Amino acid sequence: MTNLEVFLLIAVLLILIGGGVILYLALAGLAIIYSMGANESPRGRRIFFGVLGVVMIVAFVCASIYLHKYGWPL
């Protein structure tokens, strides 16, 4: 592989991973906002989405700390 191909591969991977991170956090925030909204959903569903959003954010923070501390596991 040439240097240009390696550079393009790294750029594509960073864009895909970065986009995935942004999408994941957006979905977690959306779940929390949905649970707090004034909508006609059953109370149990709103509680479920609120807990789901909080768990998603906590899991993201824990994974970020783990990767920062120990590096990529591969």
CB contact at 8 A, 53 and 32: yes
Q: How many domains does the chain have?
A: 1
Q: Is the pLDDT of residue 17 over 80?
A: yes
Q: Write down the pTM of the prediction.
A: 0.72
Range of the domain at 55: 3-70
- What is the distance between the terminal CA atoms of the chain, rounded to a whole angstrom? 21
CB contact at 8 A, 57 and 25: yes
Q: Average model confidence (pLDDT) for the chain?
A: 88
In this prediction, residue 37 carries a pLDDT of 82
For 25-57, what is each residue's pLDDT tens digit?
999 999 988 888 877 888 888 899 999 999 999
